[in-house]
Amino acid sequence: MESHCFNFWEEKKEGFDRRFLLGLFLFAFLIRLPFLLYPEVIHNDGAEYVRQAKLILSGDWTGGKAPPLYPSLIAFARVILPDAEMAGILISVIFGALLILPIYYLGKEIFGKRVGILSSLIAAVHPFLTSSSGSVLTESTYYFLVAATVLLGWYAFQRGRIYEIVLFSLLCSLAYLTRPEGIGFLIVFSLWAMIVNPSDEIRVWTKRAGVVFLSILCFFLFSSPYIIQIQKETGRWGITKKFKILVASPSSENGTQSIEDFTKKKEVHLLSFVKDPLTVMKKIVVGFFQSLYKFQQGYHPLLFLFALLGLFFHREGSFSMKGNLYLFSYVVFFLGFILPFFWVTRRYTSQMIPIAIPWAAFGFLNITIWISRRLKEGIFQKKFQTLLLVILLLGLFIQGSVIHGRDFRLIQKEVGLWMRDHLPKGQKMMSKMGQESFYAEQAWVKMPEKSYEEILKEARTKGVRYLVIDENIEKDSPGFLEQSKNAELKSLFELRRKNRYMIVFEIVDPKGK
């Protein structure tokens, strides 16, 4: 019995791919447009990106802490939208919609055209990918660069053409200039190009070495201005301003430190990997499964199941074992060898979602075809797979709209805007999070989880005039509210929203005279 589903996807007319992708891009853009009309409250990282974008517009390319690509895009987008926050969201919306393009071609290259189309449809409405399009964060831009870099890496590996190697290096550099871990794509590609033969060629070692050398050379040529700037600012060669990468620990007798302290101290000591291999192996193995668990939460458990079933019980469509291993090598590298040593959270494991979507699409295709062949012939059997696809896409879209609520932090924006409109400019404020200061347009000092007296002492030491507390203050600083009734603090504004509240205090004597 032949499959009657997805026949229109086997369209042979010239230009079908372009028409389909253009239509899907417009659809993906339109469903993300409400993020511009009803923006969420900015994240702490987003406030830093906006600050850095303003520095870039003023001619200062070196004052920011983050890699420069995303802030530069925000600065460029301000030509269209003068509001920097809206400009950042616009960049995320555009790249969120563009993501369907590399995912389509990645699925098509590894599994065939039908999987490419399914993959791009899923990417257009995926809850995690969609929600990231509404944030002033690097995620949406980085997702696009992840998929595009892996796709161009596959082209460069398979065909070894110079322009494809250069394009891969450029995209890899852009990924690195968005997030420092983007340099990992160059590592995985170099290993593949050096060790593995393409599908239809036995490549001599000199050509393999040439591919690797050219990709590394181009990467560092594209990235060199930023790397040189890091060296000028920090006095050391490195790939990021946030972390120091040292051969040995200068504060330790044997030159090592606990691997667990890497994130806390913002330092990576290479000697620690050599002298403590058992801990490293444990970290990799345990960390990989922890990362995989967090990954499937963001990826979506149902899609994760489809991916597993498709890989192990494939019946339909092309199946490139080498292509699958190529994708899998990136997932294993980042989930097992990078994230466990730094952060294992859904936000970071989600970076692998774009290149994993074709697996889910392939699994869905195989499962629905297998079921439809066991149904009685008729109109229901012919429409069964299309019906399931519509249900899946609607379910993903609705889940993204319902689960990823955007109003929890709205109270912080309201408080910040009140402070902007009612309080003097150019003051310092202290709060637990930085959103209030962003909207208040005031300098921010992070509130420590200490006693009332210690908080007040630190605030005065740093020249803080206003304190902003929320509903968690008694958990972080027991007795704060009772002690705040004395003459040292003056309550200026209080706002309550459902189970949240915030209070703005003025320090009566900021200098503590």
3-state SS assignment for residue 301: helix
Within a 10 A sphere around the Cβ of 329, how many other Cβ atoms? 16
pLDDT tens per residue across all 513 residues of the chain? 344 444 444 545 557 788 999 999 999 999 999 999 888 889 989 999 999 999 999 888 887 888 999 999 999 999 888 899 999 999 999 999 999 999 999 999 999 999 999 999 999 999 999 999 999 999 999 999 999 999 999 999 999 999 999 999 999 999 999 999 999 999 999 999 999 999 888 889 999 999 999 999 999 999 999 999 988 888 888 888 776 665 545 455 544 555 565 555 556 656 666 667 787 788 889 999 999 999 999 999 999 999 998 877 766 656 788 999 999 999 999 999 899 888 889 999 999 999 999 999 999 998 888 888 777 776 666 778 888 999 999 999 988 766 555 577 889 999 999 999 999 998 999 999 889 999 999 999 999 999 999 999 999 999 999 999 999 999 999 999 999 888 889 999 999 988 899 999 999 876 655
- Amino acid residing at 501: Y
Which of 47, 49, 92, 36 is closest to 435 using CA atoms?
47
Q: How far apart are the two ends of the chain, measured CA to CA in Å?
A: 89
**Residue 126 CB partners (closer than 8 Å, separation 6+):** 300, 353, 357, 396, 400
Could you write out the DSSP letters of every residue in 236-300?
S--S-SS-EEESS-TTSTTS---GGGHHHHTEEEHHHHHH-HHHHHHHHHHHHHHHHHHHHHHH-
Contacts of 324 (CB under 8 A, 6+ apart): 110, 311, 359
Which three-class secondary structure state does DSSP give residue 399? helix
pLDDT tens digits, residue range 278-295?
Answer: 877 888 899 999 999 999
Scanning 313-378, the segments in alpha helix (DSSP H) are 321-332, 346-349, 353-372
- Per-residue pLDDT of 84-116, as tens digits, reads 999 999 999 999 999 999 999 999 999 999 999
User: Cα separation of 31 and 64, whole Å?
Assistant: 32
- pTM (global) more than 0.85: yes
Residues 6+ apart with CB under 8 A from 508: 487, 488, 489, 490
Confidence (pLDDT) at 8:
42
Please enumerate in sequence order all residues whose Cβ is within 8 A of that of 354, keeping only pairs 6 or more positions apart, or say none.
99, 102, 103, 123, 129, 143, 144, 146, 147
| Residues 6 or more apart whose Cβ sits within 8 Å of residue 182 | 142, 145, 149, 172, 174, 175, 176
Closest CA to 300 of 369, 342, 363, 343: 363
Number of neighbours of residue 69 by Cβ within 10 angstroms: 21
Distance CA 156, CA 24 (A): 27
Domain boundaries, the chain: 16-403, 410-507
pLDDT at position 257: 55
Specify the DSSP class assigned to residue 335: I
Contact present, 81 and 173 (Cβ < 8 Å): no
Please give the C-alpha separations between residue 23 and each of 30, 101, 147, 205, 484, in angstroms, as whole numbers. 11, 11, 20, 44, 58
Token readout for 282 is: 């444990």
Length in residues, the chain? 513
Q: Count Cβ atoms within 10 A of the Cβ of residue 239 and give its class: 0-12 exposed, 13-18 middle, 19 or more buried.
A: middle
CA distance 214 to 164: 11
Q: Which pLDDT score, from 0 to 100, does residue 11 have? A: 47
pLDDT at 346: 92
Token output for 73: 């895009």
Of the CA atoms within 13 Å of residue 374, those in its CB half-sphere come to 6
Question: How far is residue 90's CA from residue 133's CA, in Å, rounded to a whole number?
Answer: 8
Residue type at 214 in one-letter notation: L
